[in-house]
């Protein structure tokens, strides 16, 4: 019992850690790429995905990101593109690249493939991934990140495990065997979380800059408001009020409402409604329950009240989302077309 209480206290005091727990990958596609100079690879936008590149040998340039200067990547670097923005990997910073889907790829399985491309010169290799995160908390977290999160090999050198994990991923990709996909997926999970943590560690603390003072990610850093966000995320079915949320985090009703709105940019109950609809959207795509059950799960006493709120927030009816086709495995259809 004592251990359970200590874990609960840890989670309560670490809302950012709570958010990171939601980074569980789904819809994963991996590509082990082997290039020889000169070469260029143009990745299309994949708005519903996070993309990453783990450089396992040699060097390359990452460019074509709006607002970002070209970056030279070397062995051991890990680049994260949380918004799935289109970009180019190439042997030189001005190569426009060949579109990904114009190149022949060897399909090893439904979610793992090998790409070989280039002119026969200097070699480099990388493991690329395009992954989805179905949990609405993960989507919120990724939306708060910049277009590019880069963990250089030099920056991760102090970690005893980051580079070995990259090495393990590279070894599994070079010589796939039973269980390789599972190993690569688990390792990628860890590397993505670590990349996000690494970026967070470089950001200014509370009150140290305009970017640090507002926004959902900074609100999670606030002990009281972060705790309130976690409560709403964990229990959207609860009949939360300003008074009950304020009492949970040790603030008066008015102080809580004011502080929450200032940090998050939305009043607490409006945030709660939007969160409930995010949860509902995610569950509707899974098609695992009726609307009445779902309505109760997100805090509505009637299916009609839930449907009205859903239409107001999302612009569509719950039934229309239920009828949508489930995204197929593999590369996103919009990107592959």
The answer, yes or no, to whether the previous bond of 20 is cis (omega within 30 of 0) is no
In 3D, which of 128, 115, 106 has the Cα closest to residue 55?
128
CATH of residue 281's domain is 1.10.10.60
Provide the pLDDT for residue 9.
46
Q: Is residue 11 part of a domain?
A: no
Provide the pLDDT for residue 22.
66
Provide the pLDDT for residue 206.
40
SS3 at position 302: coil
Distance (Å, whole) CA 335 – CA 47 = 9
Q: Domains in the chain: how many in total?
A: 2
Distance (Å, whole) CA 265 – CA 15 = 18
Count of other CB atoms within 10 angstroms of residue 128: 20
Indicate whether this model's pTM tops 0.85: no
Q: Do 195 and 285 belong together in one domain?
A: no
Listing DSSP states for 118-141 in one string gives: ESSSSEEEEEEEEEE--SHHHHHH
Residue listed under structure tokens 């990628």: 188
Provide the pLDDT for residue 146.
92
97 CB-near residues (< 8 Å, 6+ apart):
40, 41, 42, 43, 64, 88, 89, 90
Q: What are phi and psi of 59, to 5 degrees?
A: -135, 160
DSSP for residue 46: -
pLDDT tens for 196-214 read: 888 877 776 543 333 334 5
Provide the pLDDT for residue 111.
81
Provide the pLDDT for residue 115.
94
Structure tokens that stand for 51 in this block = 């993309």
CATH of residue 192's domain is 2.60.120.280
SS3 at position 284: helix
Q: Do 185 and 287 belong together in one domain?
A: no
Structure tokens that stand for 181 in this block = 């996909």
Residue listed under structure tokens 């950012």: 16
Provide the pLDDT for residue 270.
95
Mark which of 171, 202, 233 sits at the end of a domain: 202
Q: Which residues of the chain have pLDDT under 50?
A: 1-11, 206-213, 325-337
Q: Is residue 10 part of a domain?
A: no
pLDDT tens for 98-108 read: 999 999 999 88
Q: What domain range includes position 141?
A: 17-202
Provide the pLDDT for residue 249.
95
Q: Do 156 and 231 belong together in one domain?
A: no
């Amino acid at each position: 019992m004592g251990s359970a209480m200590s874990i609960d206290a840890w989670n309560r005091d670490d809302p950012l850690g709570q958010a990171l727990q939601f980074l569980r990958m789904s819809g994963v596609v991996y590509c082990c790429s082997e290039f020889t100079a000169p070469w260029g690879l143009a990745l299309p936008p994949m708005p519903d995905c996070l993309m990453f590149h783990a450089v396992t040998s040699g060097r390359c340039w990452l460019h074509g990101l709006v607002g970002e200067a070209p970056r030279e990547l070397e062995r051991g670097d890990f680049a994260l593109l949380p918004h799935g923005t289109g970009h180019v990997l190439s042997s030189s910073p001005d190569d426009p690249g060949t579109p990904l889907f114009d190149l022949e790829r060897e399909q090893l399985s439904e979610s793992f493939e090998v790409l070989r491309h280039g002119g026969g010169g200097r070699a480099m290799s990388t493991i690329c991934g395009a992954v989805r995160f179905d949990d609405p908390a993960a989507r919120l977290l990724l939306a708060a990140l910049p277009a590019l999160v880069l963990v250089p090999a030099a920056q991760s050198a102090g970690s005893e495990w980051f580079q070995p994990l990259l090495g393990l991923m590279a070894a599994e990709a070079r010589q796939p065997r039973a269980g390789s996909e599972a190993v690569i997926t688990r390792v990628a999970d860890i590397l993505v979380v670590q990349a996000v943590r690494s970026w967070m560690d470089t950001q200014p603390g509370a009150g140290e800059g305009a970017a640090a003072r507002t926004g959902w990610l900074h609100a999670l850093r606030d002990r009281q408001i972060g705790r309130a966000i976690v409560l709403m995320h964990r229990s959207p079915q609860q009949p939360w009020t300003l008074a009950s949320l304020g009492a949970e985090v040790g603030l008066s009703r008015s102080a809580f409402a004011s502080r929450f709105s200032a940090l998050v940019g939305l009043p607490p109950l409006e945030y709660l409604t939007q969160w409930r609809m995010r949860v509902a959207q995610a569950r509707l795509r899974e098609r695992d329950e009726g609307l009445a059950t779902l309505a109760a799960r997100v805090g509505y006493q009637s299916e009609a009240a839930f449907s009205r709120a859903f239409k107001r927030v999302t612009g569509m009816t719950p039934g229309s989302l239920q009828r949508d086709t489930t995204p197929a495995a593999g590369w996103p259809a919009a990107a592959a077309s």
